[in-house]
Amino acid sequence: MKKDLEQLAGLMDSLVRLHEQMIATLDRQLAAARAADSEMMRQCQEQTEQFVREVAKTEAQRRAVVKDLAVRAGIEGATQGRGVTASRLAMALPEPTRSRLNEQTARLRERVLEVDRLNRLLAVVSRSILLHLKSAYEMVSQVAGTTGVYAANGKLRQAQRSRVFEAIG
């Protein structure tokens, strides 16, 4: 059981580190949005997607270890995997293991909440950028639609209006 508890502690620490790295990447992505640096925003998005894959893999391992420990600790419903969390497991463990697991769980919860906050903020910023681009495009397309465009032969012809998503992808 001691080996599994050490493995669980290592997995929890890995999850905290991954979330901290994701927080740093999301902060960079917000800074890139403020600077209108689309390339940096794209790179940050790719990094975040990689962190999400690593978190999913590590989280699956963590859940398996928690379930195994909960079964061995005799926690009701553990064999069916119902409601087995690290916090619930910690209640069945002796000190100082209980305190350490509770501390790791709290640290991870804080990081997860910060990632969630930053993701919600990025969603608001992204929507604002798209609305701004849409309104700017609509203003330009109205002017282009009423003034006309000169063809290669020098003759004035009416501009063909396109939709905003055709113009920005």
Q: pLDDT, tens digit, for every residue of 96-117?
A: 999 999 999 999 999 999 999 9
From CA 98, how far away is CA 88, in angstroms rounded?
Answer: 10
**Residue 160: predicted pLDDT:** 57
The pLDDT of residue 116 is 97
What are the structural domains of the chain? Answer: 2-125 (1.20.58)
**pLDDT tens-digit readout, 65-86:** 999 999 888 888 777 766 788 8
Q: What is the pTM of this model?
A: 0.76
3 state DSSP class of 124: helix
- How many angstroms from the chain centroid is the CA of residue 70? 29
Counted residue by residue, the chain has a size of 169
The pLDDT assigned to 84 comes to: 81
Q: How far apart are CA 91 and CA 97, in angstroms?
A: 10
Measured torsion, CA atoms of residues 116, 18, 105, 102, in degrees rounded to the nearest 10: -150
Q: Assign 40 to helix, strand or coil.
A: helix
Q: What are phi and psi of 78, to 5 degrees?
A: -65, -35
Low-confidence residues of the chain, pLDDT below 70?
A: 81-82, 141-150, 156-169
